[in-house]
Amino acid sequence: MRNKANHLRRNLADAIATSAAALAVIVVLVPLAAIFIYLVIKGIGSLNWAFLTHTPAPVGEQGGGMANAIAGSFMILGLASLIGVPLGIGAGVYVAEYGRSWLSKYIRFTADVLNGVPSIVIGIAVYGLVVMRQGHFSALAGGVALGIMMIPTICRTTEEILLMVPRSVREAAYGLGIPQWRCTVSVTLRTAISGVITGIMLAFARVAGETAPLLFTAFGNQFWNWNPNQPTAALPLQIFTYAISPFEEWHQQAWAGALVLVALIVGTVTLVRVVTRRGMFRGA
């Protein structure tokens, strides 16, 4: 049973397996590197002050920028946060604090389900809920769509974080005669606030890059718009429109916009991951 050939074969299998796995890592990281490199190479050229402050130039002309798209994105994301953050935190608090009720199980399950709904489907639903009723596209509709997408992430993170606050902290508060709700707000939440914030940041980063749900809610706009009830430009939307267009100048602008978008999103995710070791998939 202890023969040399067997040992050699097994060691060889071990070496092959390790090499194959290492190769898989390289194969996976190559596109990552390629994307970042191309973003920088192709985007940095068109990224200038004009890009960040001007609206799109007419077709065929050089120059212009995506200032309205960047601003529009912030407006839409702001609206989204108004919806997503309170509802997400509220639901998360409910599930954490009143976890034993039958309702909590349904909430958790529903949040998971909602998380898995394709973003384009959410776009369709919000189109029916808001756009059709209003008769026009709007930043508000876009905000509703993105806000809905933020809820599951924030709810889950809030719940997890609150559950991590040790019982001793709550019991100390109860011992002092503080009612449960007050305890939750003042004691538990305060201890957990940094975790809740990182959850919000991750949710924010995730929806900031979403295009599909905005296609027929915010719809996009070539000009400045500060009215939430009007179609509004958004950075991902603009990138999409420019990328599939036949104009070379627009392609360049698309790369620049992509660079800005990725910098913001990846920057946020990196910050959160490095500071808290809380990743996009764990607790998010």
Longest CA pairwise span in the chain (Å): 80
Distance in angstroms (rounded) separating the CA atoms of residues 219 and 237 = 8
Nearer to other proteins, 42 or 54 (CB): 42
Among 47, 77, 122, 139, binds other proteins (CB under 8 A): 122
Quick one: which of 45, 78, 118, 166 contacts other proteins (CB under 8 A)?
118
CB-CB contact of 66 with 253 (8 Å): yes
Report the nearest approach of other proteins to the CB of residue 22 (Å). 6
CA separation (Å) from 67 to 189, 204, 242? 37, 20, 14
Site for other proteins in 199-258 (CB under 8 A): 205-206, 208-212, 215-216, 219, 236, 239-240, 243-244, 251, 254-255, 258
Judged by CB under 8 A, how many residues of this single chain contact other proteins?
109
Instruction: Report, in angstroms and rounded to the nearest whole number, the Rg of the chain calculated over CA atoms.
Output: 24
Least separation in angstroms between residue 34's CB and other proteins is: 7
Residue 263 lies near other proteins (rule: CB under 8 A): no
Query: Up-side HSE of residue 2: CA atoms within 13 Å toward CB?
Result: 0
Three-class DSSP labels, 6-64: HHHHHHHHHHHHHHHHHHHHHHHHHHHHHHHHHHHHHHHCCCCHHHHHCCECCCCCCCE
Q: In the structure encoding, which two tokens stand for residue 199, read together?
A: 């959850």
Among 116, 135, 175, 246, binds other proteins (CB under 8 A): 116
Out of 67, 178, 263, 266, which residue is the one contacting other proteins (CB under 8 A)?
266
Q: Does 280 bind other proteins (CB under 8 A)?
A: yes
Task: Pick the binder of other proteins from 50, 57, 67, 129 (CB under 8 A).
Answer: 129
Spell out the long-range contacts of 179-183 with Cβ–Cβ below 8 A and sequence spacing 24 or more. Answer: 180/97
- Hey, which residues does 56 pair with through a beta bridge? 64
Give the position of tokens 């990182």. 198
With CB under 8 A as the contact rule, the residue among 40, 50, 57, 124 that binds other proteins is 124
Rounded to the nearest whole angstrom, what is the least distance from the CB of residue 251 to other proteins in the complex? 7
Residues of span 131-190 touching other proteins by CB under 8 A: 148, 151-152, 155-156, 159-160, 163, 181-182, 184-185
Q: How far is the CB of 271 from other proteins (least distance, A)?
A: 12
Q: What part of residues 47-66 is at the interface with other proteins (CB under 8 A)?
A: none
Amino acid sitting at position 61: E
Q: Indicate the residue among 112 and 171 with the shorter CB distance to other proteins.
A: 112
Task: Kindly state the smallest distance separating residue 135's Cβ from other proteins, in Å.
Answer: 14
Tell me which residue has tokens 């993170």: 157
Closest by CA position to 72, among listed 205, 204, 230 = 230
> Nearest approach, Cβ of 182 to other proteins (angstroms)?
8
Please identify which residue in 40, 50, 263, 269 interacts with other proteins, judged by CB under 8 A. Answer: 269
Contacts of 89 (CB under 8 A, 6+ apart): 154, 155, 158, 196
110 touching other proteins, by CB under 8 A: yes
